[in-house]
Structure 1
Amino acid sequence: MATKLNSMRLLERRHISYQVYTYSYNPEDPPDAVEVARRIEQQPHTVFKTLVVTAGGTSRPLLIMLAADRQLDMKRAATGCGQKRLELMPRNETERLTGLKVGGIGALALSAKRWPCYVDRGAEGLEEIFVNAGQRGIMLGLAVGDLRQVLNAAWIDAAN
């Protein structure tokens, strides 16, 4: 990789160690998170996708990180975030607000936006977690505790 991404710079500023994992993909048909896990040779329950949700049209976005092999349970996630209701942000709106392409959205890359961030409790027992670096084709592996600390992320039950 020729240049560092903002997510990597953030981790380096905080003296947090990480590993870079890359994978190839077709830009017309990027892989889902389970396929990304396979391509970087990791278990799907350790590879976390970042979903962008809102608690209504007027609220700022929330980031929910969820294992590749799990599905978001909107009611459970809303309760965990202290909201009455959550909505998954539409793809075009997500890409416009984040400046990132779906399939390349990573909470570390969005940390400057200071959006509230939540991690599904499925990561609680893991030592290492794999998350998107903010660009399709690039994942980062780091300690779960380090990820939560740098993002000021709270645990929630978000999966069904």
Structure 2
Amino acid sequence: MKTNAVRILDKLEISYQLLHYEVDPDDLAAESVAQKIGLPPEQVFKTLVTRGDRTGVCLAVVPGNAQLDLKALALLTENRKVETVPLKDVQPLTGYIRGGVTALACKKDYPVYVDETIELFEQIAVSAGVRGTMILIAPDDYLRSVKGTVGAIAK
């Protein structure tokens, strides 16, 4: 099954690999997904939807074993304050459900901020836009495809 995220990578002629896993709707944690696909959690990146008081919605991409540092993201995005959006707002804003959010092929072209640890790996895993499928991709290709800005945003 090709997702919109995969179609974008194909269009950009970016190479990737799809990894499939069994979905447990009661446990959508990035750490669990990492275990299921056989990667360390710091190599599996999760996408969080946030809203800045000045710039509006943006996406934060952090390692699966880390938390988003809202103050660091605010500083990087030139906001006074950034908050994660309520879960009920995630799908209307992105088109994706919890556990399947990706910065690729969102409803709108939101700014994407990625934790600097992405540069430690030859490949990272990110959601393909549906629960149960991850994209294994080179960090540089991922950053290019989402027009990502790198910064220290995880803690």
Shorter-chain TM-score: what band? over 0.9
TM superposition outliers: structure 1 runs of 4+ over 2 Å: none
Alpha-carbon distance between aligned partners in 1 of 2:47 and 2:95, rounded to the nearest angstrom: 14
Pick from 90, 93, 96: which aligns with 2:92?
96
Pick from 127, 131, 148: which aligns with 1:136?
131
Report the TM-score, using the length of structure 1 for normalisation: 0.92
Asked if the contact 2:55–2:77 (Cα under 8 Å) also holds between the matched residues in 1, the reply is no
Asked if the contact 2:61–2:113 (Cα under 8 Å) also holds between the matched residues in 1, the reply is yes
Alpha-carbon distance between aligned partners in 2 of 1:10 and 1:47, rounded to the nearest angstrom: 20
Aligned residues: 155
Asked if the contact 1:117–1:154 (Cα under 8 Å) also holds between the matched residues in 2, the reply is yes
**Counterpart of 1:114 in 2: which secondary structure?**
coil
Structure 1 gap ranges (5+): none
Q: Which amino acid aligns with 1:70?
A: A
Once the two structures are superposed, residues 122-143 of structure 1 have per-residue CA deviations (whole angstroms, 9 ceiling, x without a partner) of 1122111100011111100000
Cα distance, 1:147 vs structure 2: 0.5
Pick from 21, 24, 28: which aligns with 2:22?
24
What is the aligned-residue identity percentage?
35
Q: Which amino acid aligns with 1:12?
A: D
Q: Residues 1-160 of structure 1 correspond to what in structure 2 (within 5 A)?
A: 3-27=1-25, 29-56=26-53, 59-110=55-106, 113-160=108-155
RMSD, matched Cα: 1.3
